[in-house]
Amino acid sequence: MPMIDVYAPENLFPADADSELGTALAQAVLRAEGVASPGPFHLDNTAVFIHRLKSTAIHTGSTNSANNVRIQIITPPGSLNREGQRQITKEATEIVTRISGDDTLAKRTWVILTEAAEGGWGIQGTAFGIEEFTALAAQAAAAKAAQEKN
């Protein structure tokens, strides 16, 4: 159930690239979490928010109009191990670089991985912690098994 935010200059990606960017990043994060074949539960609860900003809204220490990208990925507690962190950082950087068409973008792409605090992940009015996630995963697995049986 990761939440992904991409902050980039408004003209960095092609105008029609949002769908490709969102799908590629969502699939990459799920792979990094170890979800080999995501079902509706995972796909419906993985969101990508693409923030296209005016170039003057992105600053560095050296310029008031930077061509940098920030990708923040927020995950439930414990969903990314160290290898998963490495994998998604590399893959997310490759995705935005490829879609932008700018081979130099990788050196200006920041991937920030944030893990929600225990109980700090809420949906449908419920604050999810390990106990709730375990129950939710069991329900999703049972639903998937029932679907495959039919």
The full set of domain ranges for the chain reads 3-118
Predicted pLDDT of residue 127: 87
Closest CA to 9 of 105, 88, 89: 105
Predicted pLDDT of residue 3: 96
Closest CA to 74 of 29, 41, 109: 29
What global pTM score does this model have?
A: 0.86
Contact 141, 99 (CB under 8 A): no
| Contacts within 8 Å (CB) and 24+ apart, 120-129 | 121/1, 121/76, 121/77, 123/1, 123/45, 128/76, 129/77
Max CA pair span of the chain: 60
Predicted pLDDT of residue 47: 96
- pLDDT tens string, the chain, 150 residues long: the values are 799 999 999 999 999 999 999 999 999 999 999 998 888 888 888 999 999 999 889 888 887 878 899 999 999 888 899 999 999 999 999 999 999 999 999 999 999 999 988 888 888 888 888 788 788 778 877 877 887 887
Q: Tell me, which fold does domain 3-118 have in CATH?
A: Macrophage Migration Inhibitory Factor (3.30.429)
Structure confidence by residue, pLDDT tens digits, 56-72 = 898 888 878 788 999 99
DSSP 8-class letter at 117: P
Predicted pLDDT of residue 21: 98
